[in-house]
Structure 1
């Protein structure tokens, strides 16, 4: 068995040390919650009667305490393609619970917004804070004290992080995350990207763009590019919170149904076993594994925000120094669109998470000895599920099925994980190098400063950006406007780069989990609102962004300048209702959460 990599070990130990006080407080709270017996055994008769009044088939079992009662927390809606399959899950899961001598109830629902629908729209300003709302909704669902275990039904961008954050506050109970799988592969990714850029240049019509997009996002299931949603599923595997291999099996298949049935049977089996409590499975090693998996697969930059927030909910301190240092030793062994040509279905066919986990364990880059919901260790996840007749089974993955998509850790695409910390006199930010040509890792040019995406689009259309330029988009941080993804910037900046200009983006906002080939310093903290250095930049200031040296700086003298002020309207599309989240949010590196900040976590 390969020894654990020295850097992975050192970073893990540093996280343990930095987390000691917070982790102890969290575990003490979870122990008190378990000792307090906040379940249906502790409820008065009137309370309990309310709890099972509508459980017609299961009322005798719930009332008689015959077996565990399992909560289903679902983010179902039928607008979000990834979550549409969840509509059929609860009735099936109740049947499978009865098979295992248990009962199941839908404890509650959570919001589930689609960033793909709200990209570039005002509604995107609710997106990041929907994560806090999801965590709060999860807490409401679990507050009824009727349950012995938790199923979390969620996939997409803020939804899994929010479910994790909420469920961890009920960490005296075990939790299993249940995915539904990706939609079939649609139009080729290069063709989709080509039409987007043609539309940005005015060379394709809206009808042609809509036809292209509809051929890509076309049926129930998760979008097939490797963005935040699919990165979420990868992390749940790396943390041992799925049934092994469940992440990328398509919906509507016998294998998917068998995996969900296995999840129900498994939660019924571990509901009374404290060693599988979520507080114990989600420890420092599990979160390090999540980071390692993110780096090894070129996953979403959004998790530079979500991972610190999720870890905080478990009393664990995780920051960008930890992620950047792990990135220095974790090789990039997967290339999935937008970092490669194939999508997650191709990734799954080539070996998927079973291959990735096997390689990371063999190279000593992941903690094998985490406590998974499956009962063994992480090596259980280094296999692939299949149906042996009608029986669910697991088999060895073997060698990569496509070395343009998956490669061994000994011969990776890149020697590091491609998520680097850059910092200097205009702040700290994240730079995802794995999708950017190495010749573009250093960009130095005069900047052009904008306060929103629309300004960039207008300047691009007028030809004002046809030069070497660093585009600064500020007042996009959590306190300013909820830190929306700036997805609309990708096509015009890509066009400028293709025209031969040296272009980069610096922003206190987020880029899409599918951000690609343009060098970008994102999540810049401190944010511009409140006097962060970005608020002092002016058009023409020379900015240097270098992933090699970890530099984000300007040569301009910022002293004596008056900070610019935002001019964004904060009303409409419900944005005014989220004022409390904006006012209370902490910085991006802390996870940009008003809820955690207010709770003192």
Structure 2
């Protein structure tokens, strides 16, 4: 039986979304057609589509006997998580042939690495790359010659963009095909220690680079629980990829077998008797399951943006309030860095997604009456672990472990790390914001201190190096929202503020920018809405204003007389430095029309 609060939030989402969801499903119905795509194309259209195919594939596509599957690939070999995808198209095509189907690379989508662009001008393109990926996905599928899609993407904006693009073709079945995390390198605690020493000037770039390279060291997803691995958790708990497929290392026999199995499953759900389009998989209940998974694992705060935008692409309206109310009843079951010291490989070894889903399902915190890429069998199949079969080429699933393999990493609902989920909504006269509380010790969750105001993260770093921040304060870093400069992540602040906190000062961060999955031990009220460039209250805060951030009570307040705050003129900021260079001039129109953070920071909806 579903928990009463989960049910109540779900019903509210269904009611709120009734009109937009109906419009979306009507659009899907209009796009759906019986039979193979080849039967609807002119001879000229079809000839162009198969001109470069093998003779066997040409015959099969033209005959309409088997489905033709699109491969939408986010491969590049600069991004470690996506480097394995370079070898995927031949594997997918071979698997399709074995299952009586054909597959074509329909298109590529851009895939930028936030780890490379942190603190650089290119980071100001990062968030908007999500919507570019969605549009690129739509272009790839617009040839209208496919009966299903395979989506190859893992990292931060890439999976949300692929989902949004795939939902524009909601009549097509879709399977997401992961590549897996890199093996474990140095410990996350050691990585964090060296970063902090560098921030204090106690080690140099040589030592820092050696540490970073020992952590990010091979093909595969970075092993901390940031946005990339939160993406993988989401697409699995939302039924868009095979059970147990998220966290299998690249290049292993099981990884290759799961990749082939994904094709086999996609072929099956393209058949009329089992037709399961992505529009049917991504329902209101499925998105609630995704939010629950995010909360139970302490996942990336980026998904307070992405989930809203993804849901809207399916005609579903979810809000931060929905997330906050679910957070009140969803326990925190995982401690994975930056919420703990373990990495994602340790999480998988302790029981991983299968243990997590079984616990949440058993407690009534997940909807079981949902469609997945397996069809209409619900979430119970996602409580089983994949193994190689006797021939070591196929996959069999078996029930997962009864008990966690490590209670310091993964716990049952009966013994959670916290009764509250990993995210909290903050509200007050500064605006609305979200905060990731799962990594913050209880004694640091309440800060009341004078504001120090910055218009960039570099200004804060300069004052730190000058020794001007050795005191209690709340850093207000503004003009970092979607319309200002594309809402970059402000990771450069994490080690610096961590140093000050360790020195015994009460510190916190308030910003209309992002911190993402790397939000750490310092309380950070992020995604403040409305943003400063829109004249939001964050633009009215002055140096010395007493600021209160209470993550437990959900309070974000400037202790300034209401009348005085209302009468203050919003500060202005010269944003010309973010207008051009490194491609930013191409995104001028996107910045101008981007919605607020609470609406998904999107140019599409």
* TM-score interval, normalised by the smaller of the two chains: over 0.9
Question: Does the residue aligned with 1:73 lie in a helix, a strand or coil?
Answer: strand
Q: Within 5 A, what are the aligned runs for 1:122-521?
A: 122-273=121-272, 275-375=275-375, 376-389=377-390, 390=392, 391-398=394-401, 399-521=403-525
Q: Distance in 1 between matches of 2:293 and 2:465?
A: 39
1:209-242 Cα shifts (integer Å, max 9, x gaps): 0010000000000000000000000001111111
Q: Which moved more, 1:501-510 or 1:382-391?
A: 382-391
2:445, 2:550 within 8 Å by CA — same for their partners in 1? yes
Question: Does the residue aligned with 1:522 lie in a helix, a strand or coil?
Answer: strand
Question: Does the residue aligned with 1:14 lie in a helix, a strand or coil?
Answer: helix
Q: Distance in 1 between matches of 2:465 and 2:285?
A: 48
Q: Distance in 1 between matches of 2:422 and 2:99?
A: 44
Deviation of the 1:566 alpha carbon: 1.8
1:244, 1:374 within 8 Å by CA — same for their partners in 2? no
Question: Does the residue aligned with 1:471 lie in a helix, a strand or coil?
Answer: strand
Q: Distance in 2 between matches of 1:280 and 1:220?
A: 34
Q: Distance in 1 between matches of 2:534 and 2:179?
A: 42
Q: Within 5 A, what are the aligned runs for 1:16-31?
A: 16-31=14-29
1:581, 1:595 within 8 Å by CA — same for their partners in 2? no
Q: Distance in 1 between matches of 2:161 and 2:457?
A: 27
1:40, 1:145 within 8 Å by CA — same for their partners in 2? no
Deviation of the 1:270 alpha carbon: 1.2
1:471-526 Cα shifts (integer Å, max 9, x gaps): 00000000000000000000000000000000000000000312110001000000
Deviating 4+ runs (over 4 angstroms): 35-38
1:116-150 Cα shifts (integer Å, max 9, x gaps): 00001010000000000000000000000010001
Q: Structure 2 residue aligned with 1:13, among 11, 14, 25?
A: 11
Q: Distance in 2 between matches of 1:418 and 1:86?
A: 32
Q: Distance in 2 between matches of 1:572 and 1:38?
A: 46
Deviation of the 1:43 alpha carbon: 1.2
Deviation of the 1:29 alpha carbon: 0.3
2:72, 2:149 within 8 Å by CA — same for their partners in 1? yes
Partner of 2:91: 92
Partner of 1:599: none
Q: Distance in 1 between matches of 2:137 and 2:287?
A: 21
Deviation of the 1:40 alpha carbon: 3.0
1:449, 1:472 within 8 Å by CA — same for their partners in 2? yes
2:36, 2:64 within 8 Å by CA — same for their partners in 1? no
Partner of 2:100: 101
Q: Distance in 1 between matches of 2:34 and 2:500?
A: 61
Partner of 1:587: 596
Q: Distance in 1 between matches of 2:183 and 2:499?
A: 29
Question: Does the residue aligned with 2:535 lie in a helix, a strand or coil?
Answer: coil
Question: Does the residue aligned with 2:474 lie in a helix, a strand or coil?
Answer: strand
1:476, 1:483 within 8 Å by CA — same for their partners in 2? yes
Q: Distance in 1 between matches of 2:437 and 2:565?
A: 28
Q: Distance in 1 between matches of 2:124 and 2:573?
A: 15
Q: Distance in 2 between matches of 1:41 and 1:333?
A: 50
Deviation of the 1:272 alpha carbon: 3.1
Question: Does the residue aligned with 2:526 lie in a helix, a strand or coil?
Answer: strand
Whether 1:525 aligns to 2:526 is: no
RMSD: 1.1
Deviation of the 1:36 alpha carbon: 8.8
TM normalised by structure 1 equals: 0.98
Partner of 1:554: 558
Residues 414 and 370 of structure 1: CA distance in aligned 2, closer, same or farther (over 3 Å): same
Residues 258 and 98 of structure 1: CA distance in aligned 2, closer, same or farther (over 3 Å): same
Q: Distance in 2 between matches of 1:38 and 1:388?
A: 33
Deviation of the 1:309 alpha carbon: 0.3
1:11-31 Cα shifts (integer Å, max 9, x gaps): 000000000000000000000
- Number of equivalenced pairs: 594
Q: Distance in 1 between matches of 2:37 and 2:551?
A: 51
Q: Structure 2 residue aligned with 1:577, among 576, 586, 597?
A: 586
Structure 1 regions of 5+ residues with no counterpart? 597-601
TM normalised by structure 2 equals: 0.97
1:73-96 Cα shifts (integer Å, max 9, x gaps): 000000000000000100111011
Partner of 1:33: 31
